[in-house]
Amino acid sequence: MFENINNYALRCLPFTRQDLEYFDSLLQFKAYPKKTFLLQQGEVCQFEAYILKGCIRTYYIDSAGAEVTLQFAVEDWWVSDITSFHNQTPSHVYIETLEDCEVLILTPETKEKLLSTVPGFERMFRLMVQRNLAQTQERLFRTISTSAVEKYLDFLNRYPAIPQRVAQHYIASYLGFSPEFLSKVRRKLSEQQ
């Protein structure tokens, strides 16, 4: 059960077997059925979850009442509301399973124990935050500077497995399109081939 998350950690730093065993001892396994909320708007996020199996979506509801997808997360990814988790403040987002999921969870308390006992994990989590920030900046740049077709093709290139796992209206929401507009983009691409 811990092999994948330990490999994830070892890609960041050469942890000892003892470090990894301590890490594993703090992780809590949870299984959730499809369409389960791990977090709802207004709740305080009490987890950082590593995904062993399944697909999870993070989204918010805009002022017009529309769902806006911020992230899809699949196997070997982490999911959380980092602001709510670290500041222990109410979340602005929903985190929902799109498939049956299995995750390994750190709580604020277990994460603090981990970081104070094995300081090398600070580096792992710092690298995660840096990668997330870089991806967020790239996504912002693509949103501003590319056409709808380019956005969709970039999404397919970056996340080739996700379109087979999630509904098209979620992908449209992630790209900032209406479902109808995404259909037009897809039709245009199929006509070009």
Q: Could you tell me the sign of the dihedral formed by the alpha carbons of 123, 97, 52, 162, in that order?
A: negative
pLDDT of residue 193: 76
Low-confidence ranges of the chain (pLDDT < 50): none
pLDDT of residue 35: 98
- Retrieve residue 179's tokens: 């479902």
Helices marked H in the chain — which ranges? Answer: 3-12, 17-26, 82-87, 108-117, 120-145, 148-158, 168-175, 179-192
- Retrieve residue 111's tokens: 């994460």
Could you give the CA distance from residue 119 to residue 79 in angstroms, rounded to a whole number? 22
pLDDT of residue 5: 98
pLDDT of residue 49: 98
Between strands 28-32 and 78-79, the pairing is unpaired
Could you give the CA distance from residue 32 to residue 103 in angstroms, rounded to a whole number? 8
Nearest to 106 by CA among 129, 134, 132, 125: 125
Residue pair 168/179 in contact (Cβ under 8 Å)? The answer is yes
pLDDT of residue 33: 98
pLDDT of residue 192: 84
Residue pair 49/58 in contact (Cβ under 8 Å)? The answer is no
DSSP per residue, 25-68? HH-EEEEE-TT-EEE-TTSBP--EEEEEES-EEEEEE-TTS-EE
Could you give the CA distance from residue 33 to residue 39 in angstroms, rounded to a whole number? 14
pLDDT of residue 178: 92
Backbone angles phi, psi at 117, to 5 degrees: -90, -40
Could you give the CA distance from residue 14 to residue 72 in angstroms, rounded to a whole number? 29
